[in-house]
Amino acid sequence: MRPGLRLVIALGLLGLLSVSIALPPWRLDGNPTHSPSPPSTAQINAAENRVRQQEAALGTQQGRLSAAATQLASLQAQAEVLTERYDQVLVDEQRAQAAYKVTEASLKDAQQAETASQRSLAALAAQEFESGGGFDSMTAMLGDSSGPQGYLNEVGLGQVLAQRGTDTLAASQANDVVAAVFRKQAHDLLVAEQADLRAASRLKLAIEAAVARQLAFVQASRVQRNKLAGELASTRAHVAALQAARQAALAAAAAAAAARASAAAGTGAGGPQAPAWAWSSGATVTQGDIAANWALSQLGKPYQWGAAGPDSYDCSGLTMEAWAHAGVQLLHYTGYQWEEGPHVPLDDLQRGDLLFYATDNSDPATIHHVGIYIGDGMMVVAPYTVSFVRIDSIYAVGYPIGAVRPAG
């Protein structure tokens, strides 16, 4: 690389250091008016320890959630069985109700038959009396306090009744006995089924309450798990930002030393200017810094297809919004963003440049991914579904097909 070009790049890295004070992740004293020092190794180690602690807490919570979900599934299975049992008892109680109604009707029929038998018996007594001529009317018989049987005894017709009234009396007694038996059996069955139904209802309510409590516990456990996962993602992003900041600071310091050495050697004043594609073509360095810094402010937000903020992004949505904050309008599609500025060699990237990835690096039509360069071989990217906006190496997803500096 020519000495003059090295100087230009060194100055660009100094610019990287000068704008890095706008980056929030490593502002450690909480005072936004203070320029932070580059993160120390101890600070990075502490953040990494925090990641490990959060990973352990997340693992524990995930275990609790899995156990709670297993118990919930068991309770739900029990609820299914008990619900079917409840349905069976309900049907049995309904059947017992119907049977009781039938026996009530049978009892009414038996009572009517008994009444008919009594009338037949009275008619028989009247007939015997009239044939004997001992009384003026049937009223005397019916008015006897002992009833038809007592009257017949008085008139000496017991023998006749024994011979002619046996069937009538037997029928009357049989109807009465059968009706009473049916009624007791139906009543006992109904009482038993109603007791079963009450017990099944109480059990049903208890298991439903248990399922509801366990479901609430699972939901609360899931919320806690998600909270811990979010905190872990944020801490991981913080660690990545600290590492990137330290690397950038060290690289800037080395570049500044090289620039001073070049200036001392007399190569700084009259050296060749940067080629057109590096500085004068496309957006300015300041715009690139604005876009890169804004992208860093979105670390930890979830990836979502087709999203362009403010709460989630896909890869081209993130780069579009980053450059919108720098005053450059891009389209929300990697294929179009590939054409929205001059292409830049990978060894001359500046902050804010877009890095593109394809399934076939010989064919731009296969481009499927884009990230935004933040310096020192690192980029901010919305990687893929179920991930979060994060910092990655520019080679994390393969070798880039190329880079673009969006047109200002």
Do residues 9 and 255 make contact, with C-beta atoms less than 8 angstroms apart?
yes
Give the three-state DSSP class for 42: helix
CA gap 32, 22 in Å, rounded: 9
CA gap 90, 136 in Å, rounded: 63
CATH-assigned architecture of domain 274-408: Alpha-Beta Complex (3.90)
Residue-by-residue DSSP string for 290-348:
HHHHHHHTTTTPBB-TT-BSSS-B-HHHHHHHHHHHTT----SSHHHHTTSS-EE-GGG
Q: Please tell me the predicted confidence (pLDDT) of residue 33.
A: 35
Give the three-state DSSP class for 387: coil
CA gap 281, 302 in Å, rounded: 33
Give the three-state DSSP class for 367: strand
Q: Please tell me the predicted confidence (pLDDT) of residue 182.
A: 67
> Is the whole model's pTM more than 0.75, yes or no?
no
Q: Please tell me the predicted confidence (pLDDT) of residue 130.
A: 66
Do residues 22 and 35 make contact, with C-beta atoms less than 8 angstroms apart?
no
CA gap 392, 408 in Å, rounded: 26
- Token pair listed for 277: 């594609």
Q: CA quadruple 393, 320, 388, 34: dihedral positive or negative?
A: positive
Q: Please tell me the predicted confidence (pLDDT) of residue 170.
A: 62
Q: What is the mean pLDDT of each run of 10 residues along the chain (408 residues)?
A: 40 40 38 52 87 91 90 81 75 80 76 73 68 50 56 53 56 64 74 80 82 89 89 83 74 69 55 39 88 94 88 93 94 92 91 93 91 93 87 88 90
CATH-assigned architecture of domain 1-272: Orthogonal Bundle (1.10)
Q: Please tell me the predicted confidence (pLDDT) of residue 275.
A: 38
CA gap 351, 20 in Å, rounded: 11
Q: Please tell me the predicted confidence (pLDDT) of residue 19.
A: 36
- Token pair listed for 88: 């069976």
Write the CA distances from 212 to 32, 48, 64, 70, 71, integer angstroms: 48, 39, 18, 14, 12
Give the residue extent of every domain in the chain.
1-272, 274-408
Q: Please tell me the predicted confidence (pLDDT) of residue 176.
A: 64
